[in-house]
């Protein structure tokens, strides 16, 4: 068994950012993410909240300084707030066992009216909220749920609780492309950051992603004709590149896995709700952390498993959407891996 050294992969990238999925379940059914009749994991296969806490502590001991809780929709898992409080106690801890600099959450916003205050009290200061449209009819078609009023209420609750909010919007040709500037302007008017994301080819869905793939190069060109975009030095540890928008006074992020690969500086790994560590969102390289946690010597097994993960993390993903009717890059859905 090796010592508890920092996590560094074979390309000498220091891994400091964990995206931990607490559930594959979601209360929305976004068309580009999953089929309407999605088959979710059996509950017995999902890690307990105690196991997820042990896992988080194991990662923190290896130098992880930022954890983002994801799903599915993380806030639909019962008692999830207990996990947030437990992990949040590691923020700025100074006991020789590592500490967190930040605990964050990605959510669709539907549960924020109930949980925003608890998130802030638990130590969360910043959240990402996925929102692809401000039009109620478009939202209902895209998510197969008429929940936009609930999401807007959640955003207001997050703002009132003191949480900094970043809106994540997937750019979709023929769906929201003519609304993107309005979404950004609205977000900035609310004091929120906004980030645009290219649609990713993960999992089988009813529609052809090629039909909705909108390269952000084209979107950025359109926005630059409307507004003054200045490169920003802002960094969050994620894959976005940021721009300041003079006319709105806000910040715009662009995540471009297809048109502008960002893997060279990758500092993150993902763990599914079943404890499978994926060294890359766009790859099949994985390590079974659930088996390590449930072994006779969980500490040693987890250490060895994380060492193996560093050896198999690839240089880059291989996402592409370049022809109609193409199969997804991977069969697993984003909700399974964790956003």
For 6-41, the pLDDT digits (tens) are: 999 998 999 999 999 999 999 888 887 777 777 778
The C-alpha atoms of residue 158 and residue 243 are separated, in whole angstroms, by 24
Q: List pLDDT tens digits, range 153-176.
A: 999 999 999 999 999 999 998 899
Is 200 labelled a binding residue?
yes
Do the annotations mark residue 338 as ligand-binding?
A: no
pLDDT above 80 (res 257): no
Q: What is the number of alpha carbons within 13 Å of residue 221 lying toward its C-beta?
A: 5
Q: Nearest CA to 81 among 46, 124, 51?
A: 124
For 17-337, the fitting CATH number among 3.40.190.10, 3.20.20.70, 3.90.930.12, 3.40.630.30 is 3.20.20.70
241 assigned ligand-binding residue: no
Least confident residue range of 17-26, 45-54, 95-104, 203-212 = 203-212
Residue 191 buriedness (CB in 10 A; 0-12 / 13-18 / 19+): exposed
Statement: residue 329 has pLDDT above 60: no
What is the rounded distance in angstroms from the CA atom of residue 115 to the CA atom of residue 331?
32
Q: How confident is the model at residue 339 (pLDDT cuts 50, 70, 90)?
A: low
| pTM to 2 decimal places | 0.86
**Is it the case that residue 136 has pLDDT exceeding 50?**
yes
Q: Is 339 within any annotated ligand binding site?
A: no
* Average pLDDT value for the chain: 87
Domain definitions of the chain by residue range: 17-337
Q: Is there a binding annotation on residue 266?
A: yes
Which stretches does DSSP call E strand in 159-210? 164-171, 193-198
Tell me the C-alpha distance between 213 and 198, whole Å.
7
Q: Give per-residue burial for 139-155: e unless 16+ CB within 10 Å, then b.
A: beebbebebbebbbebb
Q: Is 269 annotated as a binding residue?
A: yes
268 is in an annotated binding site: yes
Give the bridge partners for 250, in sequence order.
245
Structure tokens at 177: 């492309």
pLDDT score recorded for residue 323: 46
Residue 38, both tokens: 């999605």
Q: Is the confidence at residue 250, as pLDDT, over 90?
A: yes
Q: Higher model confidence: residue 330 or residue 56?
A: 56
Does 106 appear as a known binding residue?
Answer: yes
The answer to whether 13 is annotated as binding is: no
Q: Is the pLDDT of residue 283 over 80?
A: no
Helix ranges (H only) for 144-248 are 148-161, 180-189, 209-212, 216-226
Question: Is 263 annotated to bind ligand?
Answer: yes
> Would the annotation count 270 as a binding residue?
yes
Instruction: Check the annotation: does 26 bind a ligand.
Output: yes
Residue 64 annotated in ligand binding: no
- Which pLDDT belongs to residue 262? 55
How much is the pLDDT for 92?
A: 78
Q: What are phi and psi of 150, to 5 degrees?
A: -65, -40
């Amino acid at each position: 068994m090796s010592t508890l050294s920092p996590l560094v992969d074979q390309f000498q990238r220091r891994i400091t950012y964990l995206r931990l999925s607490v559930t594959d379940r979601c209360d929305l059914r976004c068309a580009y993410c999953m089929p309407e009749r999605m088959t979710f994991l059996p509950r017995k296969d999902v890690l307990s909240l105690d196991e997820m806490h042990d896992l988080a502590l194991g990662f923190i001991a290896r130098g992880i300084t930022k954890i983002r809780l994801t799903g599915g929709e993380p806030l639909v898992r019962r008692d999830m707030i207990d996990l947030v409080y437990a992990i949040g106690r590691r923020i700025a801890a100074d006991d020789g066992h590592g500490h967190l600099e930040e605990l964050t959450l990605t959510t669709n916003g539907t549960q924020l009216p109930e949980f925003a205050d608890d998130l802030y009290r638990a130590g969360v200061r910043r959240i990402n909220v996925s929102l692809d449209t401000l039009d109620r009819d478009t939202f209902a078609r895209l998510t197969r749920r008429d929940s936009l009023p609930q999401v807007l209420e959640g955003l207001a609750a997050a703002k009132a609780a003191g949480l900094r909010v970043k809106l994540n919007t997937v750019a979709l040709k023929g769906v929201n492309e003519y609304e993107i500037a309005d979404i950004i302007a609205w977000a900035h008017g609310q004091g929120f950051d906004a980030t645009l994301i290219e649609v990713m080819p993960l999992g089988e869905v009813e529609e052809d992603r090629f039909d909705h793939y909108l390269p952000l190069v084209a979107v950025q060109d359109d926005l630059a004709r409307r507004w003054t975009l200045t490169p920003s030095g802002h960094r969050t540890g994620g894959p976005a590149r940021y721009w300041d928008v003079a006319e709105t006074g806000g910040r715009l992020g662009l995540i471009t896995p297809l048109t502008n690969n960002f893997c060279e500086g990758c500092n993150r790994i993902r763990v599914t709700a079943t404890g499978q560590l994926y060294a890359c969102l766009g790859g099949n390289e994985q390590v079974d952390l659930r088996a390590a946690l449930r072994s006779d010597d969980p500490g040693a097994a987890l250490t060895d498993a994380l060492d193996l993960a560093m050896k198999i993390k690839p240089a880059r993903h291989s996402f592409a959407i370049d022809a109609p009717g193409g199969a997804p890059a991977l069969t697993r859905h984003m909700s399974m891996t964790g956003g």
